[in-house]
Amino acid sequence: MRRFMALLAACATALGLMTLFSPQATAATGCRVDYTVTNQWQGGFQAGVKITNLGDPVTGWTLKFTLPDAGQKVVQGWNAAWAQSGSTVTAAGTDWNRALATGASVDAGFVGSFTGANPKPTAFTLNGVACTGSVDDTTPPPTGGDGTPVGVNGQLHVCGVHLCNQYNRPIQLRGMSTHGLQWFSQCYDNASLDALAKDWKADLLRIAMYVQEDGYETDPAGFTSRVNSLVDMAEARGMYALIDFHTLTPGDPNYNLDRAKTFFASVAARNAAKKNVIYEIANEPNGVSWAAIKQYAEQVIPVIRAADPDAVVIVGTRGWSSLGVSDGSNESEIVNNPVKADNIMYTFHFYAASHKDDYRATVSRAATRLPLFVTEFGTVSYTGDGAVDRASTTAWLDLLDQLKISYANWTYSDAPEGSAALKPGTCGGTDYSSSAVLTESGALMKSRISTPDTFPTS
């Protein structure tokens, strides 16, 4: 996003980066672990570990188990701080899931490797207490038609220039984007996501994981784990999760090519069985040619496809994802030289107070030739701040509704800027929906997003 971030950057030290740690634990008096091998390939596998506390509440937890074969190794895990010494594996609660009430569960897991057999562990302890619940090595059933966006639409795909659901019918998803996880992780907890799903009736959550600006490059494992946790939280509420590799400075995505390959190989392998995941591989390329962006995309997409062949992938475009308009170009460079990959869409971003009729004309024209997804837009100026331009925002949203182009608004946060949906001090509380906490931008977006969806099923 093109905006002034000095104030937020100054807050980064105070807020701190998300860290993985094991706090002082209290004793558990009973537990159950469901260990599920969800995927296996030559020399590797993916396992889900669901931990249920059947005893007294704990304020910090550590799961311990032994891998039965000497060749089994934990490569990378999520939703816990994973470690291995010899054949003994430990998984400790993180800062956002360390408390485990009686009857509460946490879903963690890992990608592992093996050289011989791959037997499942059979004995687990939680804070030193044996877990005697059942162990299940079958894949859990998928979410059914529960009326949620994911329950109705299932696995998405691109058909022609549209995003289509499991019934091969065009749909539009409407939702919100997080702010940078390194600054506003407190905005994304159970209360806020419950509100987004139930009160806002959002279809998707865009997870904006900055790569620079104290983001992923400072703690790849920690940020990957946080992204995966938010994917799970969105899935539990029937929302789609748009994983945004949020590159902004430097603007050439090839600068982060190796990081992108590492990150997407991990999250794609971990989330391949899910129906709610969409991948956005470069947020806002800028100061770089379409040819260079295309080159980057054609190296990253195969990494995702190797693990997750079915998910939709969204490719950033030139000029801060403006289809080149902000660089004096237009969509023709993409039409004439498209990315060589299937099931992809192209990104378009706008800020309503800065980008008006000429940008809308480009989108109207491009939407007849290219599958577009507005993964980020603001109701204010391109800085992310200033007054809400209601007239331009309404014109944009009416156009996107007409063309069935999906969108995520910047931002579902309490940042001190005009684009934030929530007033400063809201995050960490319990109210994310009332007029008392919504900014002008937030009230406008909630009124648009919460109108009923019309997802076709036949």
CA pair distance 294, 397, nearest whole angstrom? 28
CA pair distance 81, 18, nearest whole angstrom? 12
* Cβ atoms of 267 and 304 closer than 8 Å: no
Residue 357 is inside which H or E element, if any? helix 357-366
CA pair distance 265, 41, nearest whole angstrom? 14
- Which candidate, 411, 272, 281, 407, places its Cα nearest to that of 341? 281
Residue with tokens 């996003």: 1
217 catalytically annotated: no
DSSP structure class, residue 254: G
Catalytic residue among 213, 333, 376, 417: 376
Catalytic residue among 235, 284, 331, 417: 284
Cis before 338? omega within 30: no
Segment 433-440 long-range contacts (CB within 8 Å, at least 24 positions apart)? 433/195, 433/199, 433/200, 440/379, 440/388
DSSP structure class, residue 185: G
CA pair distance 80, 361, nearest whole angstrom? 47
Angle subtended at Cα 291 by Cα 180 and Cα 205, rounded to the nearest 5 degrees: 25
Residue 214: strand, helix, or coil: coil
Phi then psi for residue 236, to 5 deg, are -60, -20
CB neighbourhood size of 165 (10 A): 22
Cis before 249? omega within 30: no
Residue 51 is inside which H or E element, if any? strand 44-53
- Which candidate, 171, 245, 165, 172, places its Cα nearest to that of 207? 245
Token digits for 108?
């963690």
CA distances from 203 to 133, 155, 443 (A): 35, 14, 17
Decide: residue 10, CB within 10 A, 0-12 exposed, 13-18 middle, 19+ buried: exposed
CA atoms within 13 A on the CB side of 294: 13
Residue with tokens 């997870």: 207
298 catalytically annotated: no
CA pair distance 369, 346, nearest whole angstrom? 11
Where would I find the H helices in 207-311? 220-236, 257-271, 290-307
Q: Annotated catalytic sites, by residue?
A: 284, 376
